[in-house]
């Protein structure tokens, strides 16, 4: 069977031997009955249980939306406040059912409170997810914070808090994910790093953040090697400047900063959170099954100049 024939909907199998004019006519009539997007099946998250930290808003929330759009129907949203995680879960289900065949009962999306900087809190959240779904296939560690202080002015308690969330939080999340994935045969873990792992952002000072993201990137490679033969893949997604609450908070104090960031980005603009959808689905799905310890940068070209 040719690739072309396999990619078409069932009922179109004879196309590979039909005359070209008939191919066009028959394809159009099939498409008129039901227009299904033709996508590589390995990108589908159908049947997979997904978990995203820091997902009540921002990039984490966008990753959840992308997962539901790609067929995931069992999803855990983790964030600091359980109430916010639950509101986000309800909003996600409602949004997914607009202009769609999906009904709310088709989706099992739960919102859980979890402070990723506490190992106990992460362990409890994973226990709840296992109780609810019985397995975990794809985990994204997106919870993270940034602050801008010059090195001399940065209070140590705030540096420590940043590392507790960005670095230790990613580690606790990955370790708990792998503990649950290894007995079931494997899974995919994506740690959200940043282009700041590779470049020094200007003009805002953020040395501990940059170092935390470099740590996260190398953590993913190191864990990827540790768990490679156990079926658990660990990769990094490193965004450039994206418009989320995190960056909007910074820009609120400095209107000219957005122009500076855009001028430093070859594409001339900041990214929208949905610009990461393709990359996160690729990493979470079987489409990336031979990939571990790797980084995908999505930064409008920032790092290459």
Ligand X SMILES: NC(=O)c1ccc[n+]([C@@H]2O[C@H](COP(=O)([O-])OP(=O)(O)OC[C@H]3O[C@@H](n4cnc5c(N)ncnc54)[C@H](O)[C@@H]3O)[C@@H](O)[C@H]2O)c1
Among 66, 89, 116, 234, binds ligand X (CB under 6 A): 116
Q: Which residues lie closer than 8 Å to 305 by C-beta, 6 or more apart?
A: 266
Q: Length of the chain in residues, anyone?
A: 305
CB 213 within 8 A of CB 201: no
* Closest distance to ligand X from the beta carbon of 37 (Å): 27
Dihedral sign from CA coordinates of 280, 284, 287, 289:
positive
User: By rule CB under 6 A, what string of x and - marks binding of each residue 121-160 to ligand X?
Assistant: ---------------------xxxxx--------------
CB 72 within 8 A of CB 107: no
* Closest distance to ligand X from the beta carbon of 13 (Å): 44
Just list the catalytic residues. 194, 209, 213
Which one of 10-18, 57-65, 89-97, 281-289 is the stretch in contact with ligand X (CB under 6 A)?
57-65
User: By rule CB under 6 A, what string of x and - marks binding of each residue 83-112 to ligand X?
Assistant: ------------------------------
* Closest distance to ligand X from the beta carbon of 256 (Å): 17
CA distance 239 to 271: 9
Q: Which residues lie closer than 8 Å to 19 by C-beta, 6 or more apart?
A: none
Comparison of 86 and 194: residue with beta carbon closer to ligand X: 194
* Closest distance to ligand X from the beta carbon of 21 (Å): 51
Residue among 137, 116, 133 nearest 189 (CA): 137
CA distance 213 to 215: 5
What are the residues binding ligand X (CB under 6 A)? 53-54, 56-60, 79-80, 114-117, 142-146, 165, 169, 192, 194, 239, 241-242, 244-247
């Amino acid at each position: 069977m040719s690739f072309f024939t396999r990619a078409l909907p069932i009922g179109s199998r004879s196309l590979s031997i039909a005359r070209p004019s008939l191919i066009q006519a028959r394809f159009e009539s099939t498409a008129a009955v039901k227009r299904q997007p033709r996508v590589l099946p390995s990108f589908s998250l159908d049947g997979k249980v997904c978990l995203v930290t820091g997902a009540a808003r921002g990039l984490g929330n966008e990753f959840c939306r992308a997962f539901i759009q790609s067929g995931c129907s069992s999803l855990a949203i983790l964030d600091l406040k359980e109430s916010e995680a639950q509101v986000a879960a309800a909003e996600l289900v409602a949004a997914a059912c607009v202009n769609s065949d999906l009904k709310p009962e088709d989706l099992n999306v739960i919102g859980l409170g979890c402070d990723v900087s506490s190992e106990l809190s992460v362990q409890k959240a994973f226990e709840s997810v296992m109780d609810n779904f019985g397995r975990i296939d794809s985990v994204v560690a997106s919870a993270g914070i940034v602050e801008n202080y010059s090195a001399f002015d940065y209070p140590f308690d705030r540096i420590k808090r940043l590392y507790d969330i960005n670095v230790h939080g990613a580690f606790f999340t990955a370790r708990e994910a792998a503990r649950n994935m290894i007995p079931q045969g494997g899974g995919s873990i994506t740690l959200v790093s940043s282009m700041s792992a590779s470049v020094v952002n200007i003009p805002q000072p953020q040395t501990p953040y940059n170092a935390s993201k470099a740590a996260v990137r190398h953590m993913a490679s190191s864990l990827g090697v540790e768990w490679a033969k156990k079926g658990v893949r660990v990769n990094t997604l490193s965004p450039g400047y994206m418009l989320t609450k995190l960056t909007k908070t910074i820009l609120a104090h400095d209107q000219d900063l957005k122009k500076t960031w855009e001028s430093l980005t070859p594409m001339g603009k900041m990214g929208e959170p949905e610009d990461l959808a393709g990359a996160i689905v690729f990493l979470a799905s079987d489409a990336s099954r031979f990939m571990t310890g790797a980084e995908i940068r999505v930064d409008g070209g920032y790092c290459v100049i």
